[in-house]
Amino acid sequence: MSEALTVTVMCGGPSEEREISLRSGRAVVQALRSLNYKVFELDPADPDWTLPEGTDVVFLALHGTYGEDGEVQRRLEELGVPYTGSGPEASRIGFDKLETKRRCEAAGLPTPPYAVLPLETRSWPSGWEPPVVLKPIVQGSSIGLRFVNRPEELPEAMAESGRFGCPMLMEAFVRGREMTVGILDDRPLPITEVRPRDGRYDYDHKYTPGGAEYLCPAPLPPETARRVQEAALGVFRAVGARDFARVDIMLAEDGTPYVLEINTLPGMTELSLLPKAAAQAGYSFAELCRKMVEMAWARRKR
Protein backbone atom coordinates (compact mmCIF):
# COMPACT_ATOMS: atom_id res chain seq x y z
CA MET A 1 0.00 0.00 0.00
CA SER A 2 1.33 3.45 -0.89
CA GLU A 3 0.13 4.73 2.51
CA ALA A 4 2.85 2.62 4.13
CA LEU A 5 5.50 4.81 2.52
CA THR A 6 7.59 7.22 4.54
CA VAL A 7 7.60 10.66 2.94
CA THR A 8 9.91 13.53 3.81
CA VAL A 9 8.46 16.92 2.88
CA MET A 10 11.21 19.42 2.11
CA CYS A 11 10.13 23.02 2.58
CA GLY A 12 11.57 26.36 3.64
CA GLY A 13 15.11 26.55 2.34
CA PRO A 14 17.24 29.66 1.69
CA SER A 15 15.28 31.35 -1.12
CA GLU A 16 13.31 34.59 -1.31
CA GLU A 17 10.18 32.42 -1.29
CA ARG A 18 10.97 30.68 1.98
CA GLU A 19 7.79 31.73 3.78
CA ILE A 20 5.55 30.61 0.90
CA SER A 21 7.44 27.32 0.79
CA LEU A 22 6.83 26.77 4.50
CA ARG A 23 3.11 27.35 3.92
CA SER A 24 3.14 24.86 1.05
CA GLY A 25 4.98 22.36 3.22
CA ARG A 26 2.54 22.64 6.12
CA ALA A 27 -0.42 22.04 3.80
CA VAL A 28 1.24 19.01 2.19
CA VAL A 29 2.26 17.50 5.55
CA GLN A 30 -1.28 17.78 6.84
CA ALA A 31 -2.71 16.22 3.66
CA LEU A 32 -0.29 13.29 3.62
CA ARG A 33 -0.81 12.56 7.30
CA SER A 34 -4.56 12.50 6.69
CA LEU A 35 -3.86 9.66 4.23
CA ASN A 36 -1.85 7.76 6.87
CA TYR A 37 1.56 8.25 5.34
CA LYS A 38 4.42 8.48 7.80
CA VAL A 39 5.67 12.02 7.26
CA PHE A 40 8.83 13.88 8.23
CA GLU A 41 9.54 17.56 7.63
CA LEU A 42 12.94 18.83 6.53
CA ASP A 43 14.02 22.44 6.10
CA PRO A 44 17.16 22.50 3.89
CA ALA A 45 18.24 25.96 5.04
CA ASP A 46 21.39 24.25 6.32
CA PRO A 47 23.37 23.08 3.26
CA ASP A 48 24.55 20.03 5.24
CA TRP A 49 21.02 18.60 5.56
CA THR A 50 20.48 14.86 5.76
CA LEU A 51 17.32 12.91 5.05
CA PRO A 52 15.52 11.23 7.95
CA GLU A 53 16.27 7.54 8.13
CA GLY A 54 13.77 5.39 6.28
CA THR A 55 12.68 8.04 3.76
CA ASP A 56 11.08 6.36 0.75
CA VAL A 57 10.04 9.47 -1.20
CA VAL A 58 10.87 13.17 -0.92
CA PHE A 59 8.03 15.60 -1.54
CA LEU A 60 9.55 18.86 -2.76
CA ALA A 61 7.53 21.82 -1.48
CA LEU A 62 10.46 24.17 -2.09
CA HIS A 63 10.19 27.31 -4.22
CA GLY A 64 12.80 29.52 -5.82
CA THR A 65 16.56 29.11 -5.51
CA TYR A 66 17.62 25.72 -4.15
CA GLY A 67 14.28 24.19 -4.92
CA GLU A 68 13.32 24.91 -8.48
CA ASP A 69 16.80 25.42 -9.93
CA GLY A 70 17.84 21.75 -10.05
CA GLU A 71 20.36 21.79 -7.19
CA VAL A 72 18.33 19.89 -4.63
CA GLN A 73 17.19 17.49 -7.35
CA ARG A 74 20.82 16.77 -8.22
CA ARG A 75 21.59 16.00 -4.58
CA LEU A 76 18.61 13.65 -4.31
CA GLU A 77 19.72 11.88 -7.49
CA GLU A 78 23.09 11.27 -5.85
CA LEU A 79 21.31 9.86 -2.80
CA GLY A 80 19.19 7.59 -4.99
CA VAL A 81 15.91 8.70 -3.41
CA PRO A 82 12.86 9.38 -5.62
CA TYR A 83 11.33 12.83 -5.35
CA THR A 84 8.34 14.69 -6.72
CA GLY A 85 8.52 16.75 -9.88
CA SER A 86 11.02 17.33 -12.63
CA GLY A 87 14.62 16.20 -12.76
CA PRO A 88 17.72 18.39 -12.33
CA GLU A 89 18.14 19.56 -15.93
CA ALA A 90 14.47 20.32 -16.61
CA SER A 91 14.31 22.16 -13.29
CA ARG A 92 17.36 24.24 -14.20
CA ILE A 93 15.93 25.15 -17.60
CA GLY A 94 12.49 25.97 -16.23
CA PHE A 95 13.98 28.22 -13.55
CA ASP A 96 15.99 30.13 -16.15
CA LYS A 97 13.51 32.41 -17.92
CA LEU A 98 15.89 33.11 -20.79
CA GLU A 99 16.59 29.43 -21.44
CA THR A 100 12.86 28.69 -21.24
CA LYS A 101 12.21 31.33 -23.90
CA ARG A 102 14.86 29.82 -26.13
CA ARG A 103 13.21 26.42 -25.77
CA CYS A 104 9.86 27.99 -26.66
CA GLU A 105 11.34 29.57 -29.77
CA ALA A 106 12.95 26.29 -30.83
CA ALA A 107 9.60 24.52 -30.41
CA GLY A 108 7.70 27.20 -32.34
CA LEU A 109 5.73 28.34 -29.30
CA PRO A 110 4.70 32.02 -29.17
CA THR A 111 6.43 33.98 -26.40
CA PRO A 112 6.61 37.77 -25.99
CA PRO A 113 9.54 39.61 -27.63
CA TYR A 114 12.39 40.09 -25.17
CA ALA A 115 15.83 41.48 -24.55
CA VAL A 116 18.48 40.79 -21.91
CA LEU A 117 19.56 43.83 -19.88
CA PRO A 118 22.85 43.80 -17.94
CA LEU A 119 22.54 44.86 -14.31
CA GLU A 120 24.22 48.20 -14.98
CA THR A 121 21.60 49.22 -17.56
CA ARG A 122 19.97 52.55 -16.71
CA SER A 123 19.14 53.99 -20.16
CA TRP A 124 16.14 52.95 -22.24
CA PRO A 125 17.08 50.36 -24.93
CA SER A 126 16.71 51.58 -28.50
CA GLY A 127 13.95 50.08 -30.57
CA TRP A 128 11.65 49.41 -27.62
CA GLU A 129 8.37 51.07 -26.71
CA PRO A 130 6.82 51.00 -23.24
CA PRO A 131 5.15 49.39 -21.44
CA VAL A 132 7.51 46.49 -20.71
CA VAL A 133 7.91 43.90 -17.99
CA LEU A 134 11.19 43.37 -16.12
CA LYS A 135 12.09 40.03 -14.51
CA PRO A 136 15.29 38.61 -13.01
CA ILE A 137 16.35 35.81 -15.34
CA VAL A 138 16.93 33.32 -12.53
CA GLN A 139 14.47 33.84 -9.71
CA GLY A 140 11.19 32.33 -8.67
CA SER A 141 7.89 33.21 -10.27
CA SER A 142 6.93 36.88 -9.67
CA ILE A 143 10.07 37.62 -7.59
CA GLY A 144 11.48 40.97 -8.72
CA LEU A 145 8.74 41.42 -11.34
CA ARG A 146 8.29 45.07 -12.31
CA PHE A 147 6.00 46.77 -14.82
CA VAL A 148 7.64 49.77 -16.50
CA ASN A 149 5.22 52.20 -18.15
CA ARG A 150 7.59 55.08 -18.99
CA PRO A 151 11.30 55.19 -19.92
CA GLU A 152 12.11 57.36 -16.91
CA GLU A 153 10.94 54.53 -14.62
CA LEU A 154 13.62 52.15 -15.87
CA PRO A 155 16.54 53.14 -13.56
CA GLU A 156 14.49 52.64 -10.40
CA ALA A 157 13.00 49.39 -11.69
CA MET A 158 16.43 48.06 -12.64
CA ALA A 159 17.85 49.00 -9.24
CA GLU A 160 15.01 47.23 -7.42
CA SER A 161 14.80 44.10 -9.57
CA GLY A 162 18.57 43.99 -10.02
CA ARG A 163 19.17 43.41 -6.31
CA PHE A 164 18.92 39.67 -7.02
CA GLY A 165 22.28 39.82 -8.75
CA CYS A 166 21.44 38.45 -12.19
CA PRO A 167 20.78 40.04 -15.59
CA MET A 168 17.22 41.15 -16.29
CA LEU A 169 14.81 39.90 -18.89
CA MET A 170 12.82 42.70 -20.51
CA GLU A 171 9.62 41.53 -22.16
CA ALA A 172 7.12 43.34 -24.32
CA PHE A 173 3.89 43.80 -22.39
CA VAL A 174 1.13 41.75 -24.02
CA ARG A 175 -2.36 43.14 -23.63
CA GLY A 176 -4.90 40.45 -23.00
CA ARG A 177 -6.09 37.96 -20.40
CA GLU A 178 -3.77 36.14 -18.01
CA MET A 179 -4.12 32.36 -17.95
CA THR A 180 -2.38 29.67 -15.99
CA VAL A 181 -2.48 26.00 -16.90
CA GLY A 182 -1.66 23.20 -14.51
CA ILE A 183 -0.12 20.04 -15.90
CA LEU A 184 -0.64 16.78 -14.01
CA ASP A 185 0.59 13.38 -15.12
CA ASP A 186 1.70 15.00 -18.39
CA ARG A 187 -1.83 16.21 -19.22
CA PRO A 188 -3.26 19.75 -19.02
CA LEU A 189 -5.80 20.53 -16.30
CA PRO A 190 -8.69 22.98 -16.68
CA ILE A 191 -7.42 26.50 -17.39
CA THR A 192 -7.55 29.17 -14.70
CA GLU A 193 -8.00 32.81 -15.66
CA VAL A 194 -6.32 35.26 -13.29
CA ARG A 195 -7.96 38.67 -12.86
CA PRO A 196 -5.86 40.82 -10.50
CA ARG A 197 -7.82 43.47 -8.65
CA ASP A 198 -5.92 46.41 -10.14
CA GLY A 199 -4.83 44.82 -13.41
CA ARG A 200 -1.26 43.76 -12.51
CA TYR A 201 -0.50 40.28 -11.21
CA ASP A 202 2.70 40.63 -9.19
CA TYR A 203 4.05 38.87 -6.08
CA ASP A 204 1.86 40.82 -3.66
CA HIS A 205 -1.33 40.14 -5.62
CA LYS A 206 -0.47 36.47 -5.92
CA TYR A 207 -0.01 35.85 -2.19
CA THR A 208 -2.50 38.31 -0.69
CA PRO A 209 -6.03 36.98 -0.08
CA GLY A 210 -8.40 38.93 -2.31
CA GLY A 211 -5.57 40.25 -4.48
CA ALA A 212 -6.97 38.55 -7.54
CA GLU A 213 -10.04 36.74 -8.80
CA TYR A 214 -9.57 33.24 -10.20
CA LEU A 215 -11.96 31.71 -12.71
CA CYS A 216 -11.57 27.97 -13.18
CA PRO A 217 -12.42 26.73 -15.68
CA ALA A 218 -11.65 29.93 -17.57
CA PRO A 219 -14.58 31.23 -19.64
CA LEU A 220 -13.10 30.52 -23.07
CA PRO A 221 -14.45 29.13 -26.35
CA PRO A 222 -13.43 25.46 -26.73
CA GLU A 223 -11.03 26.14 -29.60
CA THR A 224 -9.28 28.93 -27.69
CA ALA A 225 -9.01 26.74 -24.59
CA ARG A 226 -7.47 23.99 -26.70
CA ARG A 227 -4.79 26.37 -28.05
CA VAL A 228 -3.93 27.61 -24.57
CA GLN A 229 -3.60 24.05 -23.22
CA GLU A 230 -1.52 22.99 -26.22
CA ALA A 231 0.87 25.89 -25.63
CA ALA A 232 1.20 24.92 -21.96
CA LEU A 233 1.85 21.29 -22.77
CA GLY A 234 4.27 22.38 -25.48
CA VAL A 235 6.56 24.28 -23.10
CA PHE A 236 6.23 21.50 -20.50
CA ARG A 237 7.67 19.09 -23.07
CA ALA A 238 10.16 21.61 -24.48
CA VAL A 239 11.95 21.99 -21.15
CA GLY A 240 11.74 18.24 -20.41
CA ALA A 241 9.48 18.57 -17.36
CA ARG A 242 7.72 15.58 -15.85
CA ASP A 243 4.75 14.74 -13.63
CA PHE A 244 3.40 18.22 -12.99
CA ALA A 245 4.01 21.94 -13.45
CA ARG A 246 2.16 25.22 -13.89
CA VAL A 247 2.50 27.32 -17.04
CA ASP A 248 1.67 31.04 -17.18
CA ILE A 249 0.26 32.28 -20.48
CA MET A 250 -0.97 35.64 -21.71
CA LEU A 251 -3.88 35.26 -24.10
CA ALA A 252 -3.50 38.25 -26.41
CA GLU A 253 -6.42 40.20 -27.78
CA ASP A 254 -5.94 38.50 -31.16
CA GLY A 255 -6.26 35.05 -29.54
CA THR A 256 -2.54 34.15 -29.55
CA PRO A 257 -1.43 32.28 -26.38
CA TYR A 258 1.97 33.73 -25.43
CA VAL A 259 4.00 31.56 -23.04
CA LEU A 260 5.39 33.64 -20.17
CA GLU A 261 7.11 31.01 -18.01
CA ILE A 262 6.87 27.57 -16.45
CA ASN A 263 6.94 26.77 -12.74
CA THR A 264 8.17 23.22 -12.16
CA LEU A 265 7.43 23.32 -8.41
CA PRO A 266 4.20 25.32 -8.20
CA GLY A 267 2.79 26.47 -4.90
CA MET A 268 0.75 24.14 -2.73
CA THR A 269 -0.86 26.75 -0.46
CA GLU A 270 -4.50 27.63 0.10
CA LEU A 271 -4.14 30.29 -2.63
CA SER A 272 -2.21 28.14 -5.10
CA LEU A 273 -3.47 27.62 -8.62
CA LEU A 274 -2.43 24.04 -9.40
CA PRO A 275 -4.60 22.65 -6.56
CA LYS A 276 -7.51 24.83 -7.76
CA ALA A 277 -7.26 23.39 -11.26
CA ALA A 278 -6.79 19.84 -9.97
CA ALA A 279 -9.97 20.22 -7.92
CA GLN A 280 -11.85 21.00 -11.13
CA ALA A 281 -10.48 17.73 -12.53
CA GLY A 282 -11.77 15.80 -9.52
CA TYR A 283 -8.73 15.73 -7.23
CA SER A 284 -9.06 16.83 -3.64
CA PHE A 285 -5.94 18.45 -2.21
CA ALA A 286 -5.02 15.23 -0.41
CA GLU A 287 -5.58 13.17 -3.55
CA LEU A 288 -3.38 15.55 -5.51
CA CYS A 289 -0.57 15.11 -2.97
CA ARG A 290 -1.02 11.33 -3.11
CA LYS A 291 -0.82 11.40 -6.91
CA MET A 292 2.45 13.35 -6.77
CA VAL A 293 3.95 10.87 -4.30
CA GLU A 294 2.83 7.88 -6.35
CA MET A 295 4.35 9.24 -9.57
CA ALA A 296 7.68 9.69 -7.77
CA TRP A 297 7.52 6.24 -6.16
CA ALA A 298 6.81 4.62 -9.54
CA ARG A 299 10.23 5.82 -10.75
CA ARG A 300 11.91 4.02 -7.85
CA LYS A 301 10.12 0.77 -8.65
CA ARG A 302 11.13 1.01 -12.31
User: 3-state class of 277 per DSSP?
Assistant: helix
Whether 267 sits among the annotated catalytic residues: the reply is yes
Distance from C-alpha of 61 to C-alpha of 292, rounded to nearest angstrom: 11
3-state secondary structure of 136: strand
Looking at 248, 272, 283, 290, which residue is catalytic?
Answer: 248
Q: Is 159 helix (H, G, I), strand (E, B) or coil?
A: helix
Count, residues in the chain: 302
Among 263, 272, 283, 290, the one annotated catalytic: 263
64: left (phi over 0), alpha (psi -120 to 50) or beta: left
202 catalytic per annotation: no
Q: What value does the CA radius of gyration of the chain take, rounded to a whole number of Å?
A: 19
* List 12, 15, 17, 171, catalytic entry: 17
Phi/psi for 54 (5° steps) reads 90, 5
CB contact burial 49-81 (16+ within 10 A = b; e otherwise): eebeeebbbbbbbbbbbbbbbbbbbebbeeeeb
Q: Are 243 and 84 in contact (CB under 8 A)?
A: yes
Integer distance in angstroms from the first to the last C-alpha of the chain? 17
Q: Has 248 been annotated as catalytic? A: yes
Point out the catalytic residue in the list 18, 103, 227, 246. Answer: 246
Q: Is 246 a catalytic residue?
A: yes
Which one of the listed residues 267, 272, 283, 290 is annotated catalytic? 267
Give the number of other CB atoms < 10 A from CB of residue 298: 12
Return the closest-CA partner of residue 238 out of 149, 126, 108. Answer: 108
Tell me whether residue 69 is one of the annotated catalytic residues. Answer: no
Of 41, 261, 283, 290, the active-site residue reads 261
- 66 has catalytic annotation: no
Q: Catalytic pick from 83, 207, 258, 283?
A: 207
The residues carrying an active-site annotation are 17, 141, 207, 246, 248, 261, 263, 267
